[in-house]
Structure 1
Amino acid sequence: MTTLPLVLQILRAPHDAARLSAADWDLLIRQSRRANLIARLATALAPQLDALPPAPARHLASALKIAQRQRLATRWEAECIRRALVPLGIEPILLKGAAYLLRDLPAARGRLFGDVDLLVPKSQMAAAEAGLMVAGWAFDASLSAYDSRYYREWMHEIPPLYHQQRDTALDLHHSILPPTARVQVNTAALFDDLLDVPDLPGLKVLAPTTMFLHSAAHLFHEGELDNGLRDLFDLDALLRDFGQDADFWTALVPRARALGLTRPLHHALRYVTQLLDTPVPAPVLQAAAADAPAAQGLLDACYHRALMPVHASCDKRFTAAARAALYVRSHWLRMPAHLLTRHLARKAWLRLQPPAEALKV
């Protein structure tokens, strides 16, 4: 395998930071910021922070403070969500970053994220939306009628909500992939096995196997991979933590089959082992590989490029083409051809309009 980006090398082997030159440190900080991994890097290097050169140490110490501030803010945001929804008989499920944080998982250490994701049954979506709006969340004023319809008819979530005082963002989902997607998720089964959030009664998170599979599905159906390496490190951290329980490995592939997520599981296990050297039992890898795609070599070439930080030092030949190909693939996975053609044509037409005209549509 070709040389990995410096941020990936140091996150895999933090003790190697002691050998870095001033130019290396400059590159490392730049790459980690572009990959949204600066706080994770700071967490990995925290035991040796006092021995690091002063300039990079200041960047890393600042990132640790930002992560701690986000930890406090997210806990308060979760409490506000709880107050808005639990009295209505709704027990929302926190997803991804907020779930890692509120369950105090290793995946949360140094992880920065921009919004809170919630999952509720589709039958409760209208009540949840109303409850959140009463509590101060609202849609972006620039949201067009077409985009609102796009979310509500074809997607697995409503348009993003923003709190009018705190300016925090919230995504409210009724499934983890669009109902129009080529991968059909057994959404009802998502609610079968949930865990409580300590000290926040009424809030839930997905159980370990489902939490991992959701994160895998999110990454490998994503078209814009600016945070792809951060999300791959999430998968690595989840596996290293949950995998200490042998029952997790026994249940992982059967749970993926029950949910309809065997293909994203295969991708997740393949790339965490290849890029992060994550320990995965060989029988689990073999069972997951039963759903490998025919074009595995082409996908490898794309993901080995597109999962790297969006920084010139990480670009290889055909990196731009790989990112474009995965962007097209994500849309192909999300919608059938007739809807996709209509949607992309509409978006292309809007981009050609003057701003004032576009707002009228």
Structure 2
Amino acid sequence: MDSLSADLVCRIFVRPELSLSLTKKQWQQLILILRNQQLLARYSALFKQAGLFDSIPKQTQRHFLNADVLANNHKKQVLFEALELKHEVEGRQQYLIFLKGAGYSLSNSSIGQTRIYNDIDILTDKKSIDGIEKKLTLYGWQSEELTEHDEKYYRKWAHEIPPLRHGIRGTVVDIHHNIVPIISGRHIDADQFAKHSVITKDGFQILSYAAMTMHSLIHLFFNEDVKKGYRDLIDIHTLMTDHSDDEYWEELINLARESGFELELFLACRYSEKFFATKIPAKVTKHIAVNRPWNMKYLDFIYKRVLKPNHPICRPNMFGLATFLILLRGHFQKMPLHILIFHLTTKSFIGMTQALLGKHFFTKELEQDQP
């Protein structure tokens, strides 16, 4: 068949030389899939490291080179925004840790060289949140309009405040006080987790590589949104591959045990190994084997589908069902049943009302001064 499969996209990541047999149509499809998954620059680096870039069709090379430029610009933008944020909230917190894509870029390691980001995530101590939010509003950061229910969700149940967008630059920052929603009952001690951080040579606070991995795998296997699951699994593979010394694995295992996310570590190792042949040390595999869940076949059915590249060109059979099951699993993990029912019912009511009466029906009107 001429159509590109999700399995082949994954195999090319492990064995880049397989790309040499792609047809012109398959190269076009690969570009569309990788652009959708924000992985063009990652695969570009892969082909260059394998010495295959010059063998790629010239028209295809241009897409990869453009992605390289974009990734480099994103890295520069992250550095600029991080400097601004650090200056704007200086001295108002115990710690200010840059997470996920921003943290990867600021680490100056291989995982950050090709990363594209949508927003900047930071972690700080909860008691400093209000002061930071008020200070950032003075520098042009504004919260987007939310319904009363969504505002309550963020303030009472979530692990972050509503996203702030800069009025001029358009950059979005997510300020976290935990890495797991409070309402889930599984949130960690953020202050203890923050101790697993380091200061870069540029003076930014980021997570240690083990803590980066822990945060990434929790984000992937505890949430309901896996639209970029393939990219996130590549992040996990890269971290486990580039920093696979004994100290790294010991810290990662201890973090999983202390935070109660040993199942998520097991799943991350399992699927990273299955998709990308990640080299997990035998003693680690033996240690985490006790966390193998009773419903392994069910989880395999889900994750072997949703962790593949998410694009209409290459979606596997029953992908829609697997995505729906992930949605249910994620919501049940993040909220107790009675809260979940209330949340989904309210969101459905708001959605239907806005569809009928306009999206601003629930937006609070600004009070006008009386003449």
TM over 0.5: yes
Matched-pair contact (CA < 8 Å) for 2:178–2:187: no
User: Which of 109, 114, 120 is residue 124 of structure 2 equivalent to?
Assistant: 120
Matched-pair contact (CA < 8 Å) for 1:102–1:198: no
- For 1:218 and 1:80, how far apart are their aligned partners in 2? 26
Matched-pair contact (CA < 8 Å) for 1:186–1:258: no
State the match for 1:180 in structure 2.
183
Change (3 A) 1:198 1:154: same
The CA deviation at 1:358 is 4.7
Moved more, 10-19 or 315-324: 10-19
- For 1:81 and 1:91, how far apart are their aligned partners in 2? 13
Matched-pair contact (CA < 8 Å) for 1:92–1:204: yes
User: What amino acid maps onto 1:178 in structure 2?
Assistant: P
State the match for 1:164 in structure 2.
167
Moved more, 234-243 or 289-298: 289-298
- For 1:82 and 1:318, how far apart are their aligned partners in 2? 46
Matched-pair contact (CA < 8 Å) for 2:223–2:334: no
- For 1:89 and 1:108, how far apart are their aligned partners in 2? 26
State the match for 1:213 in structure 2.
214
Moved more, 205-214 or 4-13: 4-13
- For 1:150 and 1:225, how far apart are their aligned partners in 2? 21
Partner SS, residue 184 of structure 2: coil
Equivalent residue runs for 1:263-274 within 5 Å: 263-274=263-274
RMSD: 1.7
Equivalent residue runs for 1:330-349 within 5 Å: 330-349=330-349
State the match for 2:147 in structure 1.
144
The CA deviation at 1:182 is 4.6
The CA deviation at 1:357 is 4.9
- For 1:72 and 1:302, how far apart are their aligned partners in 2? 37
* Aligned: 1:83 with 2:87: yes
The CA deviation at 1:249 is 1.8
Matched-pair contact (CA < 8 Å) for 1:186–1:260: no
Matched-pair contact (CA < 8 Å) for 1:85–1:91: no
Matched-pair contact (CA < 8 Å) for 1:185–1:261: no
- For 1:248 and 1:87, how far apart are their aligned partners in 2? 31
Matched-pair contact (CA < 8 Å) for 2:33–2:309: yes
- For 1:321 and 1:295, how far apart are their aligned partners in 2? 17
Aligned sequence identity (%): 30
State the match for 1:314 in structure 2.
314
- For 1:78 and 1:49, how far apart are their aligned partners in 2? 33
Matched-pair contact (CA < 8 Å) for 1:94–1:204: yes
* Aligned: 1:324 with 2:324: yes
- For 2:359 and 2:291, how far apart are their aligned partners in 1? 43
State the match for 2:287 in structure 1.
287
Partner SS, residue 159 of structure 1: coil
Change (3 A) 1:96 1:127: same
- For 1:194 and 1:224, how far apart are their aligned partners in 2? 26
Matched-pair contact (CA < 8 Å) for 2:266–2:288: yes
User: What amino acid maps onto 2:67 in structure 1?
Assistant: A
User: What amino acid maps onto 1:81 in structure 2?
Assistant: L
Moved more, 83-92 or 170-179: 83-92
State the match for 1:195 in structure 2.
198
User: What amino acid maps onto 1:39 in structure 2?
Assistant: A
Query: What whole-Å deviation, never above 9, does each CA across 1:155-180 have from its counterpart, x for those lacking one?
Result: 00001111111101110000000111
The CA deviation at 1:89 is 4.8
Matched-pair contact (CA < 8 Å) for 1:220–1:264: yes
Matched-pair contact (CA < 8 Å) for 2:179–2:187: no
Query: What whole-Å deviation, never above 9, does each CA across 1:19-41 have from its counterpart, x for those lacking one?
Result: 22212211211221222211211
Which runs of 5 or more structure 2 residues have no equivalent in the other structure? 363-371
TM-score (norm 1): 0.94
State the match for 1:353 in structure 2.
353
- For 1:196 and 1:354, how far apart are their aligned partners in 2? 46
Query: What whole-Å deviation, never above 9, does each CA across 1:28-81 have from its counterpart, x for those lacking one?
Result: 112212222112112212344333212111111111111011011110010001
The CA deviation at 1:6 is 2.8
* Aligned: 1:32 with 2:34: yes
Moved more, 169-178 or 51-60: 51-60
User: What amino acid maps onto 1:275 in structure 2?
Assistant: F
- For 2:192 and 2:289, how far apart are their aligned partners in 1? 23
State the match for 1:302 in structure 2.
302
Matched-pair contact (CA < 8 Å) for 1:100–1:108: yes
Matched-pair contact (CA < 8 Å) for 1:350–1:358: no
- For 2:39 and 2:26, how far apart are their aligned partners in 1? 16
The CA deviation at 1:193 is 2.5
TM-score (norm 2): 0.91
Change (3 A) 1:250 1:89: closer
State the match for 1:204 in structure 2.
205
Change (3 A) 1:354 1:253: closer
* Aligned: 1:49 with 2:50: no
User: Which of 59, 64, 76 is residue 68 of structure 2 equivalent to?
Assistant: 64
Which runs of 5 or more structure 1 residues have no equivalent in the other structure? none
Change (3 A) 1:212 1:171: same
State the match for 2:368 in structure 1.
none
- For 1:112 and 1:179, how far apart are their aligned partners in 2? 28
Partner SS, residue 151 of structure 2: helix
User: What amino acid maps onto 2:265 in structure 1?
Assistant: L
Counting matched residue pairs gives 355
